[in-house]
């Protein structure tokens, strides 16, 4: 594993991707149109260190956000989460502060792809985004796309991610996924 992989993937176990594709944590609630400048202000784009970015995650919306997060916690947000400029720093900051997944009414498309590329689980569910409250204990089954509010007992169905995206999450992101794929191809070629 490269230094970059070690930095971007420090919390793979906390994400639950190795343990059956489940994420469980407390909900942190945000409204609609949270853009990448709110997620991580441009001032901090001079680093790619996930832990350092994580310290400043969402500070424009809640200055103490990163101090409140426990590994595996979940961001629940309104529509158009991650809009604005395209920066991989935004999902890296979210992952770096320990967030295990993001559930939103909808995502900006470029944020959606950047989150997948770095292995941050994201699910669209307008019903869950509306019903789950700050502080609720939430469990997500990534494989099934099922979101359960353990505080209220409500269950919501998000659109499950396609199998190829789940493979990327299991690997910890796009770069580790491609490395694993290349290694499998090399091993197969050597064994042939």
- pLDDT digits over 8-56, tens only? 444 444 444 434 589 999 999 999 999 999 999 999 988 889 999 999 9
Task: Say what the pTM is.
Answer: 0.86
- H-state helical runs in the chain: 3-8, 12-15, 36-39, 50-55, 65-68, 89-96, 109-118, 126-131, 163-171, 174-191
What does the pLDDT look like over 87-141, one tens digit per residue?
899 999 999 999 999 999 999 999 999 999 999 999 999 999 999 999 999 999 9
Report d(CA 83, CA 85) in Å as an integer. 7
């Amino acid at each position: 594993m490269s230094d970059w992989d070690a930095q971007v993937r420090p919390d793979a176990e906390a994400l639950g991707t190795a343990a059956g594709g489940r994420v469980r944590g407390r909900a942190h609630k945000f409204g609609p149109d949270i853009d990448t400048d709110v997620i991580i202000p441009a001032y901090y784009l001079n680093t790619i260190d996930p832990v350092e970015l994580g310290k400043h995650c969402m500070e424009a919306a809640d200055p103490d956000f990163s101090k409140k997060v426990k590994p595996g916690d979940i961001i629940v947000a309104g529509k158009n989460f991650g809009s604005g400029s395209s920066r991989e720093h935004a999902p890296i900051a979210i992952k770096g502060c320990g967030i295990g997944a993001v559930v939103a009414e909808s995502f900006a498309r470029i944020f959606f792809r950047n989150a997948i590329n770095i292995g941050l689980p994201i699910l669209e569910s307008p019903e869950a985004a509306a019903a789950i409250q700050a502080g609720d204990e939430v469990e997500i089954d990534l494989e099934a796309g099922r979101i359960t509010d353990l505080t209220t007992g409500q269950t919501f169905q998000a659109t499950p991610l396609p199998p190829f995206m789940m493979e990327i999450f299991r690997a910890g992101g796009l770069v580790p996924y491609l490395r694993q794929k290349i290694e499998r191809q090399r091993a197969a070629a050597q064994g042939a």
